C-alpha cells in the first residue's frame, strides 16, 4: 500500500481487489471493511 502510494496506486498495480464474505483471509492481508449504516 505504501509502495503504491495509496489506494489508487494499489488498484492500478492490481494489488487491490474486492472480495465477498466467503473469502478466507491470508496472513499479511490488509482489510478495509465496507458497510452501510
DSSP class of residue 11? H
Note the pTM of the prediction, 2 decimals: 0.54
35: left (phi over 0), alpha (psi -120 to 50) or beta: beta
What confidence score (pLDDT) does residue 31 get? 87
Which pairs from 11-17 meet CB under 8 Å and 24+ separation?
A: none
* Residue keyed to cell 482489510: 31
Structural domain that includes position 10? 1-37
> Based on the structure, what is the number of domains in the chain?
1
pLDDT per residue as tens digits for the range 9-37: 988 998 888 888 899 999 988 888 888 88
Amino acid at each position: 500500500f505504501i509502495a503504491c502510494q495509496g489506494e489508487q496506486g494499489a488498484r492500478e498495480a492490481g494489488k487491490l481487489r474486492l472480495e465477498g464474505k466467503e473469502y478466507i483471509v491470508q496472513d499479511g492481508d490488509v482489510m478495509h471493511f465496507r458497510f452501510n449504516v
